[in-house]
Structure 1
Amino acid sequence: MRRVRYTSTGGPLFLEEAPVPEPGRGEVLVRCEAVGVTLPVVRKVGEAAEPIPLGGEVAGEVVAVGGDVTGLALGDRVTGLCFGHGYADFAVLRQDMASPVPDGVGAVDAVALVRSGLVALGVLEAARPRPGETALVTAAASGVGHLAVRLARTRGASRVVGAVSDPAKADFVRSLGADEVVVYGDDGWGEPVDYVLDGVGGDLLTPAVGALAPGGRLVAYSSGGGTVRAYDLLVGARTVTGFQMARIARERPDVYEGWRRELWRRYTEEGLRPAVHGPFTLADAARAHEAVVSRANLGKVVLVP
C-alpha cells in the first residue's frame, strides 16, 4: 500500500510503499476513502523532535477485524480517529474510536463532519448558550470553526461574529450564517458578545477575552497556548473554560456518543453540511499541510487516497 511519511522535523512529506497493517485486538482495518488533516498533526511535523506517524480522521470500509471486536463487521463503513499511520490506503482504527457512517453519506462528508463537528458541538455545549445570546467564533473558516458558526446559529444565537486571519475569507464565513466578520488585528471587534469559541489561542486570547460582554464566557479549545490575565477576567466577571475532546471521549463515552448521534441527525434532518478544502491526493499531502499552515483553507482539509 501507499502511505505518506517524513524523516526529519519539518518534512518533506513523501509517498512510500509499506505493508498493509494487521488489526490487533479491539481494532479494525479500514480501506481509506477519505482522510482528514488535523492541526495538531501538522504542528507536530514542524515541531516534534522525532518523526511521528501521520494520523488523523479516516473514513472507509472495514476490510479486516481483530480479536474481541464486537458491533463491527467486514463491509461496514466507518469513520474515526487513527493514532497510527492514517495518510495511507489502509489504516487501523481502535473499535472505540470508530463509528458507523449512515447509508448514502459520502466518505469526504463523513470525515469532515464527525471529528470536527464533535469538537464544534462540544465547544458550543461547554459555552452553555441560551437562545438570543450573541457569539463570536475565531478561526471561523477552519474545519472546526466553520461548523461552530453554523451550529451557533442553529442553537439560537441572535448574532454570530466570525473572526478570521484574512479579509478574503469574509464572504465564505458570511455564507455559513455569520452576521459580521472581523479580522485578527482589527481595532475592536464590534459590540461585545455573550460567548466566544476560540480555536486559535496564543496572542489572540487577549482580544478574544476583550470581546466578551460582562458575564461572558470564553471556551478555549486550541493547542496554540497563550496566557489570559486574571485582571481581564475580574473586570466584568468573565470566565474561561478549557475544552478537550479526548477527555470527553475517555471519561464521558455516553456524552460523546450522544453528540455523534446529534451530528448525524442534523446532517439528515437539518441539512448540516461540512465545507471541504480540496480534496487532495496522498501525493499532494504537503500542499494540504501548507493550506493549514498558511491558514488558506476554507473548511476542512481532506485527503482522498
Structure 2
Amino acid sequence: MRRVRYESTGGPLFLERVPVPEPGPGELLVRCAAVGVTLPVVRKVTEATEPIPLGGEIAGEVVAVGAGATRFRAGARVTGLCFGHGYADFALLREAMASPVPDGASAVDAVALVRSGLVALGALTAARPEPGEAALVTAAASGVGHLAVQLARLRGAARVVGAVSDAAKADFIRSLGADEVVGYDDDSWGEPVDYALDAVGGELLTPAVSALAPGGRLVAYSSGGGTIQAYDLLVGAKSVTGFQLARIARERPELYERWRQELWQLFTERVLRPAVHGEFALEDAAEAHAVIESRSNLGKVVLIP
C-alpha cells in the first residue's frame, strides 16, 4: 500500500510503499476513502523535533477486525481519529475511536463533519451560549470554524461575527450565516460580543478578549499558545475556558457520543453544511498542507487515497 511520510522537521512529504498493517487487539483495519488534514498535524510536521506518523480523521470501509473488537464487522463504513499513519491507503483505527457513517453520507462528509464538528460543538457548549447573545468565531473559514459559525446560529445567537485572516473570505463566511466579518488586523472588531470561540491563539488572544462585552466568555481551543493579561479579564469581569476534545472523549464518552449523534442529525436535516475546500490525492499531500499553512482554505481540506 501507499503511505505518506517525512524524515525530518519540515518535510518534504513523500510517498512510500509498505505492507498493509494487521489490526491488533481492539483495532480496525480501514480502507481509507477520505482523510482530513488538520492544522495540528501540519504544525507538528513543521515544528516537532522528531518525525511523527501523519494521522488525523479518516473515513472508509472496515476490511479486517482485531481481537476483542466487537462493534464493527468487515464491510462497515466508519470514521474516527487515527493516531498512527492515516495518510495511507489503509490505516489502523482503534475501535473505541470509531463511529458509523450513516447511509446517505459520504466518506468526505464524514471527515468534514465529525471531528471538526465535535470540536466546534464542544467549544460552543463550553461557552454556555444563551439565545439572543452575540458570538465571535476566529478562524471562521477553517474546518472547525465554518461549522462553529453555523452551530452558534443554530444555538440561538442573534448576531454572529466571523474573524478571518483575509478579507477575501468574507463572502464565504456570510454564506454560512454570519452577520459580520472582521479581519485580524482591523482596528475594531465591531460591537462587543457575549462569547468568543478562538481557534488561533497567540497574539490574537488580546483582541479576542477585547471584543468581549462585560461578563463575556472566551473559549480557547487552539494549539497556538499565547498569553492573556489577568487585568484584561478583571476590569470587565471576563472569563477564559480552555477546551480539549480528547478529555471529553476519554472522560465523558456518553457526551461525546451524544454530540456526534446531534451533528449527524443536523446534517441529515440539512441545517448544518460541512464545506470542503479541496480534495487532494495522496501524492499531493504537501500541496494540501500548503493550503492549511497559508490559511487560505474555505472549509475542510481532504486527502482522497
Give the TM-score normalised by the residue count of structure 2.
Answer: 0.99
Q: In the alignment, what sits opposite 2:96?
A: 96
Q: In the alignment, what sits opposite 2:297?
A: 297
Q: In the alignment, what sits opposite 1:229?
A: 229
Contact 1:194 1:215 in 2 (8 A): yes
2:23 paired with 1:18: no
Task: Name the SS for the 1:103 alignment partner.
Answer: coil
Contact 1:163 1:181 in 2 (8 A): yes
Kindly state the Cα deviation for residue 190 of structure 1 after the two structures are TM-superposed: 0.3
Q: In the alignment, what sits opposite 2:152?
A: 152
Equivalent residue runs for 1:195-206 within 5 Å: 195-206=195-206
Following the alignment from structure 1 to structure 2, what is the Cα–Cα distance between the partners of residues 101 and 271?
18
Task: Name the SS for the 2:113 alignment partner.
Answer: helix
Kindly state the Cα deviation for residue 230 of structure 1 after the two structures are TM-superposed: 0.3
Equivalent residue runs for 1:75-90 within 5 Å: 75-90=75-90
Following the alignment from structure 1 to structure 2, what is the Cα–Cα distance between the partners of residues 278 and 304?
10
Identity in percent: 80
Contact 1:109 1:273 in 2 (8 A): no
Q: In the alignment, what sits opposite 2:283?
A: 283
Question: What is the letter of the counterpart of residue 80 of structure 2?
Answer: G
Kindly state the Cα deviation for residue 71 of structure 1 after the two structures are TM-superposed: 1.3
Alpha-carbon displacement from aligned partner over 1:121-173 (angstroms, at most 9, x marks no partner): 00000000000000000000000000000000111100000000000000000
Following the alignment from structure 1 to structure 2, what is the Cα–Cα distance between the partners of residues 173 and 21?
41
Following the alignment from structure 1 to structure 2, what is the Cα–Cα distance between the partners of residues 4 and 69?
27
2:8 paired with 1:8: yes
RMSD over equivalenced CA pairs, Å:
0.6
Equivalent residue runs for 1:93-172 within 5 Å: 93-172=93-172
Alpha-carbon displacement from aligned partner over 1:249-301 (angstroms, at most 9, x marks no partner): 00000100010010011011243120001111101100100001000100011
Following the alignment from structure 1 to structure 2, what is the Cα–Cα distance between the partners of residues 157 and 37?
29
Contact 1:165 1:184 in 2 (8 A): yes
Task: Name the SS for the 2:78 alignment partner.
Answer: strand
Contact 1:25 1:66 in 2 (8 A): yes
Task: Name the SS for the 1:137 alignment partner.
Answer: strand
Following the alignment from structure 1 to structure 2, what is the Cα–Cα distance between the partners of residues 261 and 143?
19
Following the alignment from structure 1 to structure 2, what is the Cα–Cα distance between the partners of residues 22 and 103?
27
Q: In the alignment, what sits opposite 1:180?
A: 180
2:264 paired with 1:264: yes
Q: Aligned residues, how many? A: 305
Task: Name the SS for the 1:185 alignment partner.
Answer: coil
Alpha-carbon displacement from aligned partner over 1:31-84 (angstroms, at most 9, x marks no partner): 000000111110010011111100010000000000001111110000000000
Following the alignment from structure 1 to structure 2, what is the Cα–Cα distance between the partners of residues 49 and 226?
21
Question: What is the letter of the counterpart of residue 264 of structure 2?
Answer: W
Kindly state the Cα deviation for residue 192 of structure 1 after the two structures are TM-superposed: 0.1
Following the alignment from structure 1 to structure 2, what is the Cα–Cα distance between the partners of residues 274 and 285?
21
Kindly state the Cα deviation for residue 245 of structure 1 after the two structures are TM-superposed: 0.3
Q: In the alignment, what sits opposite 1:253?
A: 253
Question: What is the letter of the counterpart of residue 65 of structure 2?
Answer: V
Question: What is the letter of the counterpart of residue 200 of structure 2?
Answer: V
Give the TM-score normalised by the residue count of structure 1.
Answer: 0.99
Following the alignment from structure 1 to structure 2, what is the Cα–Cα distance between the partners of residues 177 and 269?
16
Following the alignment from structure 2 to structure 1, what is the Cα–Cα distance between the partners of residues 155 and 251?
25
Contact 1:133 1:158 in 2 (8 A): yes
Question: What is the letter of the counterpart of residue 109 of structure 1?
Answer: D
Task: Name the SS for the 1:241 alignment partner.
Answer: strand
2:193 paired with 1:193: yes
Q: In the alignment, what sits opposite 1:61?
A: 61
Contact 1:3 1:85 in 2 (8 A): yes
Kindly state the Cα deviation for residue 188 of structure 1 after the two structures are TM-superposed: 1.1
Following the alignment from structure 1 to structure 2, what is the Cα–Cα distance between the partners of residues 94 and 235?
46
Q: Which runs of 5+ in 2 are unaligned?
A: none
Following the alignment from structure 2 to structure 1, what is the Cα–Cα distance between the partners of residues 267 and 167?
29
Following the alignment from structure 1 to structure 2, what is the Cα–Cα distance between the partners of residues 295 and 84?
25
